[in-house]
Structure 1
Amino acid sequence: MEIKASDVKALREKTGAGMMECKKALQECNGDAKEAEKYLKEKGLAAVEKRASRATSEGIIVVKTTDSKAVMVELTCETDFVAKNADFIAVGDKIAETALAKGYTDVQKELSDMVLDLATRVRENMGLRRLTAVQAGSDEYIAHYVHSDKKTGVIVVLKSDKSAVFADKVFQEFAYDCCLHAAAFTPLYVKKEDVDAAYIDEQLEVFRGQVAELQKPDNVKEGIVKGKLNKHLAEICFLEQAFVKDDKVSVAAKMKEVGKQLGANISLSKLVLWQLGQ
C-alpha cells in the first residue's frame, strides 16, 4: 500500500526513529500508526538488548532538591556526544524530578523504563547506574552543586540549633561553598574517625618505611610518622581539609567561624559526593 509522507513524518516525530524505518514500519503494519509504533518499539528493544554489553563510560550526574529532600542520579551512556544531547539531559532531569516527587530512594522500574525508551530512540546503550535520596529534618539545610560538565555532583546537609539562620545569605553562601569545596578537593572521608583502621595501618607502614633510614631516635621517627599521617588525613578528610575559599583554616574551623558570626551552632549532617563512573 502507498504510505503518505505526512504519516511517516508524524511517526518519526513520535518515536524518534529514522524516516526509512518509520516508512517500513507503516508498510509492515498496513498503515496503522499505532501498530507501527509498537513495531518500532519492539524492534528497538531488541536492538537495546544487543547493545547491552557495550561500555557506558560517559553520562551525567543530576541533582534535584526541595527544602527538605534531595535526589541525585547517575545516568550513563556510551559517548560524550549523547551525554551532551538535550534529550539525554532532559531524561536525566525527569528521572530525578520523578524520584523526588514520588519519594523513591533507589532505582525503580518506572525510572529504568524512561532510560530504555530513550535508548531505543538514540540507539546507544544507556543505564541508570545509581540513585540516592536525602531527607533533611526541620533543623537541617540542604545545599547542592553539579559541575558544569555534569560529571561531579555534591549534596551537603548542614544542621543548626537555630533554623532561622537558614534564610541568612552568609549561611547559604557557606553551605554552597561546602559543596564547591567537596567537588574541588574530592575528600574520601568526612572526618578522621571515619577512616578505616586497616587503611591507617597501611599508611603508617608506608611512612615508617620512609623514615627508617633517618639517623634519629625511634621516638623522634615515630613523631615524624604521626605528623605525616595527620597531614595525609587532613588531605583526605572533608572537615580537616583547608577550606576552598580560605586555606588558612580548615572546613571545620570555618564552619565554627560562620556559626559564631550568626550566633548559632552549625554542624555537618551529611555529605554525598559522586563522580561519574566512580
Structure 2
Amino acid sequence: MAITADVVKKLRDITGAGMMDCKKALTQADGDFAAAEKILKEMGLAAIAKRQDRATDNGRVFVKVQKDKAVLVELTCETDFVSSNEQFIALGESICTVALEKGYRESNDELVGMVNDLIAIIKENMSLKQLVVFDIAADEYASSYIHGNGALAVLVMFKSDKPEIFSLETVKEFTNDCALHVAAFTPSYLDTSFVDADYIKEQTEIFNVQAANLGKPAKVVEGIVKGKLNKHLSEICFLKQPFVKDDSMSVEKKAAEIGKSVGAKLEIVNYAFLRAGAASCSN
C-alpha cells in the first residue's frame, strides 16, 4: 500500500509523533493506520523506559486557583530548552486543570500518563515531581503568584470573618503583596508554632555557646540567647518577617492593620511555594 505524505501528516497530527517515526510505523504496519498508531504507542513506551534514569534537573512550576480549590504543580524535565516548550507548558497547565476538576490531591496513573504521552513525543525524560492542593472554604481566599518564567510559584491562604472584604481593592492589593513577599523571602514556616521543637532546641544550644563566650553574667547570657532566638524566628517565619512593602511592621501586624481598616478580622492561615528543580515549603 502506498504511504503518501498526507497519510503520514494525518498520523502525525493525531499522535504528535515525528514525521519519520510516523512513516516508519506506517511502513511497518503495511499502511494500516490503526496498527501504525499502536506501533507508535509501543515505540513511545519503549522510549519512556529508556529515559527514566535520566536526571530531570530543569522544569517549571504552575499554579491555578478556582472557587473552592487551588493547586501548585512542579513539572520537571532534562533541559531548560524543553521547560520553555509550548507543549511542556500546556501539559503543566492541563495537569493543574485535571487535578482541580477531578479532586486529585497527589500524582496518579492518569496524571503520570499525561506526562508519559509528552515524553513519547518530545523524547526527553519528565516527571510530575510535586502536587500541592489547598481547599478554599467560604470564608477563605487564595492569592497566587508566578515568578519569572515559571521558576517559582506561590499560594497564600487568607481567612476573614467578613469574606466580602476579599473583593475590596485594598485587600486584594495586600493579598497580592503577601504572595510577592513569599516569593522574595521564601519563609520556612508560617509562624513560630509550626517550628519543630528539636530545631528550636538546637538553635538555642548554638546561641548559648555563642553567648557564653562573651563572658557575661548568666542573666545577661539568657537575655542574649532569647534575643538571638527571637530574631532568628522572625527571619524564617512568614508572619513574623518584616512586610515586604512596609518593613516597619511584621506581616502579621500588617494583616491586622489592613483588616482593621476595612472593619474585619483578616488572617493569613497557610501558604506554599514551589521552586522549579528545588525544595518547596508549605504548612
Using the size of structure 2 for normalisation, the TM-score is: 0.95
Amino acid at match of 2:191: K
Query: How far apart in 2 are the matches of 1:102 and 1:209?
Result: 53
List per-residue Cα deviations over 1:87-130 (Å, max 9, x = no partner): 00001101101111122222222211110100000001111112
| Counterpart for residue 28 of structure 1 | 28
> In structure 2, the residue corresponding to 1:93 is in which secondary structure?
helix
Post-superposition Cα deviations, 1:215-261, rounded to whole Å, max 9, x if no partner, equal 31121112111111111100000000000111111000100110111
What count of residue pairs does the alignment treat as equivalent?
278
Residues 18, 121 of structure 2: 8 Å contact kept = no
Shift, 1:80, TM fit: 0.7
* 1:70-219 equivalences in 2 (<5 Å): 70-219=70-219
Query: What residue number does 1:244 align with?
Result: 244
Report if the CA contact (8 A) 1:11-1:37 is conserved. yes
Aligned residue number for residue 5 of structure 2: 5
**Residue deviations 1:185-242, cap 9 Å, x none?**
0100010111111111111122122222213112111211111111110000000000
The aligned counterpart of 1:17 is 17
Deviation at 1:146, TM superposition (A): 1.5
What secondary structure sits across from 2:234 in the alignment? Answer: helix
Distance 1:140 1:33 in 2: 52
In structure 1, C-alpha distance between the alignment counterparts of 2:213 and 2:131, rounded to whole Å: 49
TM-score normalized with structure 1 length = 0.96
Q: Which residue does 2:41 correspond to in 1?
A: 41
The secondary structure found in structure 2 opposite 1:188 is coil
Worse-matched range after superposition: 44-53 or 148-157: 148-157
User: 1:59 — aligned with what?
Assistant: 59
Tell which deviates more after alignment, 68-77 or 252-261: 68-77
Alignment check: 8 A CA contact 2:139 2:162 kept: yes
Distance 2:49 2:183 in 1: 35
Give 3-state SS (helix, strand or coil) of 2:270's partner.
Answer: strand
Aligned-partner SS, 2:121? helix
Q: 1:144 deviation in Å?
A: 1.0
CA distance in 2, matches of 1:255, 1:69: 22
- Who is 2:227 aligned against? 227
Tell me which amino acid in the other structure corresponds to 1:6.
D
CA distance in 2, matches of 1:190, 1:170: 23
Q: Determine if contact 1:190/1:271 at 8 Å carries over to the other structure.
A: yes
Question: 1:40-98, CA deviations, whole angstroms, 9 ceiling, x for partnerless residues?
Answer: 11011111111101111111111111122111111111111101100000011011011
Q: Which moved more, 1:164-173 or 1:149-158?
A: 149-158
What amino acid does structure 1 have at the position aligned with 2:24?
K
- Following the alignment from structure 2 to structure 1, what is the Cα–Cα distance between the partners of residues 259 and 210? 40
Deviations 1:1-54 (A, max 9, x none): 532122222222332323222211111001112211210110111111111011
Residues 47 and 123, structure 1, Cα contact 8 Å, conserved in 2: yes
2-structure distance, mates of 1:110, 1:139: 32
Gapped regions of structure 1 (runs ≥ 5): none
2-structure distance, mates of 1:43, 1:75: 23
- The answer to whether the Cα contact below 8 Å between 2:73 and 2:274 also exists between their aligned partners in 1 is no
Conserved 8 A contact 1:62-1:150:
yes
Matched with 2:255 is 255
- Gaps (5+ residues) in structure 2? none
Identity across aligned pairs (percent)?
51
Tell me the distance in 2 between the aligned counterparts of 1:225 and 1:15: 64
| Contact 1:67/1:142 (8 A) holds in 2 | no
